[in-house]
Structure 1
Amino acid sequence: MTNDFDTMTLADYLGQGGKLTSPENVPPRYRGELLRLMSSFVDSQLAASAGFANAINKAPGIKSRIAASRITLEKADHAERVLDLMEGFGTDAALYERAHDWAAREARDSTLQAKRHGGDMRLSVFHYPLTGWTDAVVMNVLMGLATQHAVGELTHCSYQPLADVLRDLLPRERRHMELGIEGLERIGATEEAKASVAYWMPRVAETFGPAQSDRFERLKAMGLRRTDNETLRTAWRAEAERTLSALGLT
């Protein structure tokens, strides 16, 4: 049996919705794309946790402090659970955790676009700083809505262990977003909140990636993705606009 035949057989299997279940049966090219997906998730969760930790002491009350603490804790836990999967591929988790300054941020007025910056794989939106409680709440809502679509997409991926972990984590990510909405309801349609929405909307939109993407086509062929970037972004934007409209923050 030739390598070409093996590859074609695997492609057909994944194209028909087949699942891979362990590092041992993952071929090299698939492994590279899978690890990139997992690294992006882990790095983004660690950066989100580190960034939101700074918002805890800016919370206006005990309930808000509890909500911010819960989000900080659970995002770190989410990172750890996917990093555990990466250990199966030879990743040194202890070294990985110390590899970057997860709280590091660029200048507020930076123009980063949807590219990787620095040595880690966090989404570009997590390079921007939070300026206060209202800003943290707005970002949490908009990014939380995006997570429902982007991570929800990966709960159907062809690497079953990752799909299972993300399916388990997604309800907690939704609760983070709901806590943010509760916070925005208390803040109200202030000028500060409106300015924060205007700042974060385009930056969160960029996290879905370019409308035309060769990488998406590769991931789709491997069963790691199935919905294109622009479709996910459009669905997120419609939901975000409905949510913001209900809060007087269009």
Structure 2
Amino acid sequence: MTGNERSSAVPETSPVLSARALHKSYRGGLLRKRQHVLRGVDFDLYPGQVVGLIGENGSGKSTLMKILVGALAPDSGTVTHAGRIGYCPQAPLLYPRLTCDEHFDLFARAYGMTTHAAAESRQALYEELGFTRYARTRAERLSGGTLAKLNLGLALMADPELLLLDEPYAGFDWDTYQKFWVLVGRRRAVGRAVLIISHFVVDEDRFDRILAIADGQAAPR
């Protein structure tokens, strides 16, 4: 299955990710007034689905993503998920003096992967994303595009059931953008779920659903 082919599978009974009545607010400004960012966000993500989440700057997209991955607590509401999570943050969280190989080794240990499984996954990702020649290059010497590839590769390494991506293709050239969607299509075909946050969506036919965040809520577009 290629990256722009839709899955014909009917969603399973149990979603891999559920968000219910999520609220989040912050105090800001000179008067320290409470600003409501999320006002009761609800949505489900099922195995084999690719869902896009869009919204303007300041709409709450990144706040929602942080809540979904457990990096930020909501004021109220619940998040439940099943299986492993792979997270690709908008700004790569990498160690400047570690090479790409060393990053993969570090994350493999965190995921509890065997040496053999880690080596196979790492090599496949190098080849699929096209940055094998940078395996022994420190992160501080990588271009922005290659850093984005490493960031995505680390999220994909353990073959998670749920993949959460925040602006994943920022910095990709056209060739890498196409490779990205091939990877997403393969994951959809084997029942993996993918949530992609972006400022806007260009290739709408690549998604099963698109949700827009506005006024603190997520609604189908």
TM-score by length of 1: 0.28
Of Structure 1 and Structure 2, which has the larger fraction of its residues in helix? Answer: 1
TM-score by length of 2: 0.31
Of Structure 1 and Structure 2, which has the larger fraction of its residues in strand? Answer: 2
